[in-house]
């Protein structure tokens, strides 16, 4: 069993059990579920027994990406909350002076920076899980998380929070739709480019290969018509010859366009789930002096990473440890945006 079909089987089983079904797998790829009527109806089962399979086209509900599994699963998921809010009450926070930690972590490119104050705070981290699907002549898909410090808007690379520790549901969490979504999407698009680089290269490689074959084929055709001209006893009509060449070139262009279409990449990026996790952290307040202007900025010490988080660039929105500040607003900029 491949890991993806294993994952699908586990996921599908959990989904059914969650809705009150009793699931049993008699073989690796075959099983059945005894389901409440409502669930059985939703899955178009005749009675209350739903047959399960991990093969596409298997009987009953087929747990395979090549079937309508995702469509059916998403109908079941429609009924589930997709946002989970959790909290962790206590975590180890760094004690003492953070001055050295700040000086070590950051490079201040054009300003004097002084530490004013350090405070224990509670910060909500938003982890957006995305599903990405790339469709071209081939398909590629993945799912991955983007975590954002909701107070600073900075993207941070966190371990999977749900794997790690004892957390509790946080029913009192802010119910407002979070403002971190756009930032998460931007970051997800950037990361996806990197993750899918191999796929892009592969498609491009195949496209170049196919175009080369086409060029070779059509230039052979053109050569052939020229050779006929020199070997033939009667001179062929030059007009006919030119017309033939035009036709060949036109055909080549048409075939090239077909290839471009075939290898065009269609990209879908969708949020699947959001986890809001409130944890303790340290807020470090800094006074930034840039020429005549002065402004305070806050950076965060993260107890999971056991280090300071980067500052968010006011230009491109990415996190940076190498920071310049604008003259008037004293707004942080990464080296690239300030350059």
Kindly list the residues in this chain that would bind Zn ion in the complex (CB under 5 A).
Answer: 313, 315-316, 334, 337
Burial (Cβ within 10 Å: 0-12, 13-18, ≥19) of residue 46: exposed
Our CB check for Zn ion shows the closer of 43 and 334 to be 334
Our CB check for Zn ion shows the closer of 277 and 334 to be 334
The token pair that represents 334 in the structure block: 């990464």
Taking a C-beta distance cutoff of 8 angstroms, is the pair 33, 49 a contact?
A: yes
Minimal distance in Å, beta carbon 194 to Zn ion?
17
Our CB check for Zn ion shows the closer of 35 and 313 to be 313
Our CB check for Zn ion shows the closer of 155 and 281 to be 155
Taking a C-beta distance cutoff of 8 angstroms, is the pair 280, 118 a contact?
A: no
Minimal distance in Å, beta carbon 156 to Zn ion?
16
Minimal distance in Å, beta carbon 282 to Zn ion?
25
What element of type H or E holds 128?
Answer: strand 112-135
Our CB check for Zn ion shows the closer of 67 and 338 to be 338
Indicate the length of the chain as a whole number: 339
Reduce the DSSP state of residue 88 to 3 states and report it. Answer: coil
**What residues pair up with 50 in beta bridges, in sequence order?**
33
Minimal distance in Å, beta carbon 321 to Zn ion?
12
Residue for token pair 């206590």: 90
What angle separates helix 197-231 from helix 181-195, to the nearest 10 degrees? 50
Minimal distance in Å, beta carbon 303 to Zn ion?
27
């Amino acid at each position: 069993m491949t890991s993806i079909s294993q994952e699908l089987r586990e996921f599908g089983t959990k989904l059914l059990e969650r809705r009150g079904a009793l699931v049993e797998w008699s073989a690796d790829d075959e099983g059945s579920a005894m389901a409440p009527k409502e669930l059985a109806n939703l899955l178009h089962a005749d009675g209350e027994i739903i047959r399960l399979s991990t093969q596409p086209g298997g009987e009953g509900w087929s747990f395979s990406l090549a079937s309508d599994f995702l469509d059916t699963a998403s109908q079941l998921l429609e009924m589930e909350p997709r946002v989970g809010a959790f909290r962790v009450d206590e975590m180890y926070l760094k004690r003492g002076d953070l001055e050295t930690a700040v000086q070590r972590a950051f490079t201040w490119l054009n300003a004097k920076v002084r530490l004013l104050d350090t405070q224990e705070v509670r910060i909500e981290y938003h982890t957006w899980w995305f599903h990405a699907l790339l469709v071209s002549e081939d398909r590629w898909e993945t799912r991955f998380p983007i975590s954002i410090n909701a107070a600073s808007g900075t993207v941070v690379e966190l371990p999977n929070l749900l794997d790690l520790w004892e957390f509790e549901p946080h029913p009192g969490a802010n119910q407002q739709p979070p403002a971190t979504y756009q930032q998460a999407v931007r970051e997800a698009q950037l990361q996806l480019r990197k993750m899918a680089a191999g796929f892009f290269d592969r498609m491009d490689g195949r496209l170049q290969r196919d175009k080369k074959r086409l060029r070779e084929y059509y230039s052979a055709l053109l050569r052939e018509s020229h050779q006929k001209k020199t070997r033939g006893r009667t001179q062929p009509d030059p007009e006919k010859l030119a017309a033939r060449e035009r036709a060949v070139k036109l055909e080549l262009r048409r075939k090239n366009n077909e290839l471009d279409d075939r290898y065009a990449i269609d990209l879908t990026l969708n949020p699947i789930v959001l986890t809001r996790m409130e944890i303790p952290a340290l807020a470090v307040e800094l006074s930034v002096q840039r020429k005549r202007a002065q402004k305070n900025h806050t950076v965060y010490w993260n107890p999971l990473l056991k280090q300071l988080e980067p500052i968010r660039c006011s230009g491109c929105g990415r996190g940076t440890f190498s920071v310049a500040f604008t003259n008037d607003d004293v707004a942080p900029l990464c080296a690239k945006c300030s350059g």
